[in-house]
Structure 1
């Protein structure tokens, strides 16, 4: 069944950085998406309240997101993100979307950008160790929202909602 995915857009320099890490560490056969921050994993496609609400959520200034560390579990490695503004935005979105949230999407957001997945636990542990040794906290800028259509495979981009600078 098709699903609507909502992601957070990030600045071009950060996008290039994380895309390069995915290109280097993600198995090529499974790396058919750019690096991304998923806000909602599975919303109904045919629900107009969701698409109608997104322009209002984009009426805000771009936000600074702290990249705070490297996460690892099983066969994946990700950069952990932290932002009170992002948490509040997500909470507001959850309130509007509440009738359609899956259990996963109803949880508190743990924002991250995955740079390796679908590998052995040993390989993920090695990359995690390497990235932790090199890690220096930094910041990126969130620049908008993006909706995607998921139909088991590559995602199809639907709409982009840039954050306005005057909010």
Structure 2
């Protein structure tokens, strides 16, 4: 099938830096080879030109505002839950356009999140979850555009960015 394409939505730099710092602090260093990210699609064909054309069209919009609504405990990791009805709508439109290439995981409803810890013991994850939840206050940030990545059996290689139109 060739290379696998991953699609994410970018964060404004201040929040990208914030979540990257949390990953550096809490993610095991041997497994932390990615910056913080918000994945929209996990497995699309990288050699399909219609996907890139569609992403240009999908990016012709104002930036989206995402609400950071809470924390998630994954058993062996922790992440931040995100919400945006506009992002949900965009994702459904993208699912419709990319339907011929979607794997089962990418056909599911979007549950946007940012993982800041993974691949740790349940006890370590529970301690971080409890500590972060104690002082959590909801906040929001803006997105910057759509990004594509090539999956390299672990690390990702940046491929292309499709910036949202700044109003």
Tell me which interval the TM-score lies in, with the shorter structure as reference length: over 0.9
Please report the TM-score for the alignment, with normalisation by the length of structure 2: 0.97
Shift of 1:122: 1.0
List 4+ stretches of structure 1 deviating above 6 A.
none
CA distance, structure 2, for counterparts of residue 146 and residue 82 of structure 1: 19
Contact 2:71 2:79 survives alignment (8 Å): yes
Give SS of 1:46's match.
coil
- Corresponding residue number in structure 2 for 1:126: 127
- Corresponding residue number in structure 2 for 1:82: 83
Give SS of 1:140's match.
strand
- Corresponding residue number in structure 2 for 1:16: 17
CA distance, structure 2, for counterparts of residue 73 and residue 32 of structure 1: 19
- Corresponding residue number in structure 2 for 1:158: 159
CA distance, structure 1, for counterparts of residue 59 and residue 143 of structure 2: 11
- Corresponding residue number in structure 2 for 1:101: 102
Pair 1:138-2:122 in alignment? no
- Corresponding residue number in structure 2 for 1:63: 64
- Corresponding residue number in structure 1 for 2:112: 111
Please report the TM-score for the alignment, with normalisation by the length of structure 1: 0.97
**Cα RMSD (Å) of the superposition?**
0.8
Shift of 1:154: 1.1
Shift of 1:76: 1.4
Pair 1:72-2:67 in alignment? no
> How many residue pairs end up in the alignment?
166
- Corresponding residue number in structure 2 for 1:53: 54
CA distance, structure 2, for counterparts of residue 104 and residue 128 of structure 1: 25
Q: Mark the runs of 5 or more structure 2 residues left unpaired by the alignment.
A: none
CA distance, structure 1, for counterparts of residue 150 and residue 58 of structure 2: 19
